[in-house]
Amino acid sequence: MQIGVDTARAVDQRRVFIVEPDEITRAVLQFILQDEIETHEMSSPEEVYEKGQDWLKPDLVLLSAGVVEARGAAVVDDLTTAYPGVRVLVVHDKNTEAPALAALRAGAHGALAKPLGIEAVRKKVDTGLGRGGAPLIQLSL
């Protein structure tokens, strides 16, 4: 099913990695993005490093604030070091605002607040990929 798909964006060769331990949130983000962007779901940063070898490098990582909470904000630096030029957006809710702020301080490029809506997610991802859209940072530091 394609909802409001921009065909010019659907042929864009950039890819997004979703790093989220929660299977439902991963599926929602995958559903929202899959029609316009090559999207890959992962439950941990280790899967990113495993999949992100050779030709399958991410352009944008949607990183769960839960991962940041469990692993520390250094996970942001690890991703940006492993994949120079990658953009990192932290996906958070009210319960994980503190780890999201820590990730932003550690170099994440923006935050995506739940609840996740189709237009909001696509705009934020488009901005992260340099295709215009909403401002990246919603949280105040």
Per-residue confidence at 1, pLDDT binned at 50, 70, 90?
very low
Residue appearing with tokens 């798909």 = 5
Q: Is 84 exposed, middle or buried (0-12, 13-18, 19+ CB in 10 A)?
A: exposed
Please, what sign has the CA dihedral across residues 123, 121, 10, 58?
positive
Q: How distant, in Å, are the alpha carbons of 6, 30, 70, 87, 97 from that of 101?
A: 32, 24, 14, 16, 6
Q: pLDDT tens digits, residue range 21-68?
A: 999 999 999 999 998 899 999 999 999 998 888 778 999 999 999 999
pLDDT, residue 55, reads 75
Q: How distant, in Å, are the alpha carbons of 28, 116, 132 from that of 6?
A: 19, 19, 13
Q: pLDDT tens digits, residue range 82-135?
A: 999 999 999 999 999 999 999 999 999 999 999 999 999 999 999 999 987 555
* Strands 15-19 and 60-64, bridge-based pairing: parallel
Backbone torsions φ then ψ of 139, nearest 5 degrees:
-90, 150
Rounded to two decimals, the pTM is 0.85
Residue appearing with tokens 């010019």 = 8
Domain annotation for the chain: domains and CATH numbers:
7-128 (3.40.50.2300)
